[in-house]
Amino acid sequence: MRSRVLFVEDDLTLRTALSDALRDEGHDVTVAADGHEARANLRELRFDLVVLDIMLPGPSGLELLRELRQRDGDTPVLLLTARGEEGDKVLGLELGADDYVTKPFSLRELLARVKAMLRRRDRADAAIVEQFDVGGARVDLAAFTLLRDGVTHTLSPKEAGMLRLLRLRQGRAVSRAEFLDEVWGGDEFVGNRTIDTHMLNLRQKLERDHKQPRHLLTVHGVGYRLLEHPDA
């Protein structure tokens, strides 16, 4: 699964070089040149990793980090700090940053830090999503099974992939384009009708009434989202 990275850096040369290097590593990279642009991205989108320069025009990296942690305690954040900003490093870690790199740094060092942080996140995500309960059903993605009312249903690899992605998004909408990219690998011969057919099959297995779903919900014009506790 491709990782979504937000790279926030005001220096054009550094931003271009590092974002290109991250894309070469296989990541989907969104770039922001200042604090205002970064804030908009963080509010509208969810990322697997945020690489965040502390010194930015507009809201600083530390301000953005503080805002992010108020609503999201999970997304890994790698701070970029200048040599001599010891106080900012400490404050950044106290605010919830996961790691930092001090400028000047080598491209190899940055890519190694990014890879390590994404690997840790993948391990944590795997523990979260492989087995879970939703709507009275027990889902085991590793075994490709869904147990409801004493009946075990087999999940196809694509159905399991869709459920895994929905759980990773933690209640947020997943677009049909994301399903096509992440689960079908961007197969150009697969369209939205295939996504909708697989969702219908999933609803028939997971929902008590697949015609009035309470957990696998349609987000009109976008895709679907998983709501584990509809009455919460």
Architecture (CATH level 2) of domain 4-126 = 3-Layer(aba) Sandwich (3.40)
Contact indicator for 92, 79 with CB cutoff of 8 Å: yes
From-to residues of CATH 3.40.50.2300 in the chain? 4-126
Whole-structure pTM over 0.75, yes or no? no
Tokens of 36: 């205002």
Sheet (strand 174-175) strand order: 174-175, 223-226, 216-219
pLDDT at 1: 58
Architecture (CATH level 2) of domain 130-226 = Orthogonal Bundle (1.10)
3-state SS class at 227: coil
pLDDT at 232: 47
Distance of CA 119 to the CA centre of its chain: 13
pLDDT at 138: 92
pLDDT at 205: 94
pLDDT at 127: 58
pLDDT at 44: 85
3-state SS class at 98: coil
pLDDT at 15: 93
Q: Per-residue pLDDT tens for 123-160?
A: 666 655 678 888 889 999 889 999 999 999 999 999 99
From-to residues of CATH 1.10.10.10 in the chain? 130-226
Low-confidence ranges of the chain (pLDDT < 70): 1, 83-85, 123-129, 231-232
pLDDT at 198: 95
| Phi-psi sector, 17: left (phi>0), alpha (psi -120 to 50), beta | alpha
pLDDT at 135: 83
